[in-house]
Structure 1
Amino acid sequence: MAARRSLLLIGIAGGLLAGCVVAPPPAPPPRVVYQPPAVVVARPPQPAMIVETVPPPPPEHPYWVWRRGGWHWNGYRWVWIHGRYVERLY
């Protein structure tokens, strides 16, 4: 009788355990990253060069050279940088 009871308990336990399934953990939800829209500044084309009259060099620096002016983009608009005399680099 004890043997039958043991076999019965083993059968019941085996039946209960047969239905157990080890499932993988659920996949994590997709990661959503907010990216603000890109701001693209459309830079207008550079304006035409401005013709500057070259003045004579300063009397205290007769060997300096003229560096002509040019356009510079300051992040918002084109700005003209005037020409000037600079020390000659050897």
Structure 2
Amino acid sequence: MLARPGGDAGRHQLGNLSARLFGRSPAKGADTPLWAAADPSLRGRTGRYFADRAEKDAGPRDPATIAALRRRCASVLVEA
């Protein structure tokens, strides 16, 4: 394995950049996924979206709304 100049400094700088860009430290960002993976009361609850240790709405589920969003995304990609 090659040694990086500065040791772990790069890793710490990346963590600091993450906190500045997203407003959360790596530890805070990992809190909900770790909680969801370890909490026995969530066993078997798949396909859900969690943030800040709470289930959140993951977005539209209406087929017509989803189709409209897909058409809009496709048109934006074609324009680009």
TM range (shorter): under 0.3
Normalised to the residue count of structure 2, the TM-score between the two structures is: 0.23
Normalised to the residue count of structure 1, the TM-score between the two structures is: 0.21
In our comparison, the structure showing a higher alpha carbon Rg is: 1
Bigger relative CO (Cα 8 Å, ≥ 6 apart): 1
Q: Which has the higher helix share?
A: 2
